[in-house]
Amino acid sequence: MTTLTIKKGDQVKILTGKDKGKEGRVLRVHPKEGRVLVEGLNVYKRRIRPRRQGEKGQVVDLPRPLTVSNVMLVCKSCKKATRVGHRVDGDRKLRICKKCQAEN
């Protein structure tokens, strides 16, 4: 299991792929696979066969998870994509922005 610096609810920017440069909110994190699911991004079409007689087949938009290395956290205070640092404050370990040193 890997430790990830991205958490559910974080605003992230896509670094590579067809959605490069776009931003979205993290819906789900898969730490064992090292992947994150971003709202409205990396969406693919999935064709579904009809289950019952007389029912029609459909095309459904399905979001796929991205590798964590292909996304970057967007700082809440400076609104820039940044790397994540850590600072120990008493008994708490905080995530900080490497650009403006603000807590995330």
On average, the pLDDT of the chain sits at: 91
* Whole-number pLDDT of residue 2: 53
Rounded distance between C-alpha atoms, residue 27 and residue 91, angstroms: 28
pLDDT value at residue 18: 92
Spatial separation of the C-alpha atoms in residues 65 and 35, rounded to whole Å: 6
Cα–Cα dist 78/62, whole Å: 32
C-alpha distances (whole Å) from 95 to each of 17, 48, 87 are: 27, 42, 7
Domains, the chain, ordered by start? 11-75 (2.30.30.30)
| 103 has a pLDDT exceeding 90 | no
Given a cut of 50, whether residue 13 has pLDDT beyond it is: yes
28 CB contacts (<8 Å, ≥6 apart)? 8, 36, 37, 65
pLDDT digit string (tens) for 48-77? 999 999 999 999 999 999 999 999 999 999
Q: How many CB atoms lie within 10 A of CB 1?
A: 6
pLDDT digits (tens, 9 = 90+) for 19-37: 999 999 999 999 999 999 9
Nearest to 65 by CA among 95, 97, 34: 34
Contact call for residues 71 and 46 (beta carbons, < 8 A): no
pTM: 0.79
- pLDDT band for position 1 (cuts 50, 70, 90): very low
